[in-house]
Amino acid sequence: MKQLTVIATALLLTTVAISFALWADILKIQLVAYTGNVDVQFGSYSVKEYVGFPASGGGWSFVPEGSDPEAKDVGQCTVALQEVENEEGVNPSSAGDNDLDLVITITNGYPGYKCEVKFDVVNSGSVPVKGPTYVNPQSPYTDGHIKVEHDISTAACVQLHPGEKQTFTVNVTVLQGAEEQTTYTVQIHLRYDQWNEAECGAPPQPQPQPQPQGRKDFTTSDGKPLDKLDGYRTIKIEVNKHNKISSPDHVIMVVAFYLPTRYTASSATPLVIRDYLPKDWSASLSSSSWDSVVKICYGTTLPAGFPDLPFSNPCRGWAVQLPKSSVVQFSYSGGSGGVLTARIESGSYGPGWLVMFIKANYDLQGSTLPSGYFSKYSSKSGEYCIRDFVNNAELLYGDSTLATATGTLRGVGDKSGGSLC
């Protein structure tokens, strides 16, 4: 009887287990989101070139190259699409790297040359965009050497659907302040945002201010340009048969400082120009005759032909000459290779140019040529005996240095029937 009870219990457990079994199937929901992309790129572009002639009221009067016999094809303006910065490295786009920058290059530019570039901005992505929502620098922009004008602004902010485009114009003008054989670079940044988050007409973001710039140059007292040797202004140092230096007598040393913003001078916070004359040159004369030694001009732009202006009146037609005593105080210290200081204690200056012209005397005129004075120099145009004179200058506002400038005047020895080096 005990055995039968055990069997019955086992059968009961088996039946219970079978009655709790459940057949089931599972359905799954998979979420896949394929996002679009925001991508803009530069499209087609065109180039026009202009030659500027001095206008009667100042500035330039521009005519297209080739439209006049004097509107010569001298400068060249080219446009290329190339990568300057890879913005996609920060924000990858499935459209690939469309961030090719519009590079405008001026070759053989000169004061008065202007290049006009018209270009398209194309929405090459799959999401509508609005822009430009940010532009830097704003128009007009100048560093004193070139001037950039454009119609790119947040006020022109529009919505571009995929494939749509927007057209802008950029003008680049080479100014009188540009130096020879020098490269100037400006980048314009413009931004587009997805249309539903873009803020058209947002206040412009603060932009870095251009800094004061300085340049050094040399000319003659009558404004006749000095000759050049491998890019350097030159003077001829003549030595007679008795080994005495007979010329030159003097040269005009010029320093120009561009002030991009306004500076107000006072006795407590003056604008100070210091010119460190090279060794063997001086400007030491009595205070009563400063006007025969140094002149300071202030104008908004440099004139055509700068720095080759007559020392008798270098400011005529483009600037005002700062009067001695009431506005500017001059001093000179150090003898040969000394320092000429101009201290401006009144008036407001900028944006514009402060230019100082110094009639510097050559101290070795009439002296015996020092031994080893010249060095041998080889050029494509021949062999020369030279001596370089390095001229430095600085502009201060109070105790702060705003800008510096350095230039080299190259002396070329000349002795009939004899070698100098």
- Residue at 8 is within a domain: no
Question: In this structure, are residues 119 and 152 in contact, taking their beta carbons and an 8 Å threshold?
Answer: no
* 182 plus 219 within the same structural domain: no
Q: Is the pLDDT of residue 17 over 90?
A: no
Contact 162, 194 (CB under 8 A): no
d(CA 295, CA 14): 119
The mean pLDDT of the chain is 84
Whether residue 419 is predicted with pLDDT greater than 90 in this model: the reply is no
Each residue of 54-67: pLDDT tens digit?
887 667 889 898 88
Q: Would the pTM count as exceeding 0.95?
A: no
> Is pLDDT of 414 > 60?
yes
Q: What is the rounded CA–CA span in Å between residue 13 and residue 143?
A: 97
Question: What CATH number should be reported for the domain holding residue 407?
Answer: 2.60.40.740
Most confident of 178-192, 276-290, 368-382: 368-382
Q: Indicate whether 224 belongs to any domain.
A: yes
Q: Are residues 380 and 301 in the same domain?
A: yes
Beta-carbon neighbour count of residue 25 at 10 Å?
A: 4
End-to-end CA, the chain? 139
pLDDT confidence band for 36 (50 / 70 / 90): low
Q: For 103-157, how does the pLDDT look when each residue is reduced to its tens digit (9 = 90+)?
A: 888 888 888 899 999 989 888 888 888 888 878 788 888 888 888 888 887 777 8
- Alpha carbon 149 to its chain centroid, in Å, reads 14
Q: How far apart are CA 194 and CA 39, in angstroms?
A: 9
Residue type, position 243, single letter: N
Pair 276, 392: CB distance under 8 Å: yes
405 and 269 in a common domain: yes
Residue at 161 is within a domain: yes
Q: Which domain holds residue 271?
A: 213-415
The reply to whether 28 falls in a domain is: no
Looking at the fold, whether 182 and 270 belong to one and the same domain comes out as no
* 294 and 238 part of one domain: yes
Closest CA to 106 of 77, 145, 65: 77
Give yes or no: residues 406 and 301 share one domain: yes
In a domain, 9, yes or no: no
Average pLDDT of span 82-92: 57
* Position 49 in a domain: yes
Check: CB of residue 165 under 8 Å from CB of residue 136. Answer: no
Residues 160 and 247 placed together within one structural domain of the fold: no
Assess whether pLDDT exceeds 50 at residue 16.
no
Instruction: Clarify whether residues 136 and 272 are in a common domain.
Output: no
**pLDDT at residue 7 is higher than 60:** no
Q: What domain count does the chain have?
A: 2
Work out the pLDDT band at 96, boundaries 50, 70, 90: very low
Where is average pLDDT lowest: 185-189, 349-353, 412-416? 185-189
pLDDT band at 95 (very low <50, low <70, confident <90, very high): very low
Q: Do 217 and 272 sit in the same domain of this protein?
A: yes
Are residue 277 and residue 405 in the same domain, yes or no? Answer: yes
Q: Is residue 3 one of the residues assigned to a domain?
A: no
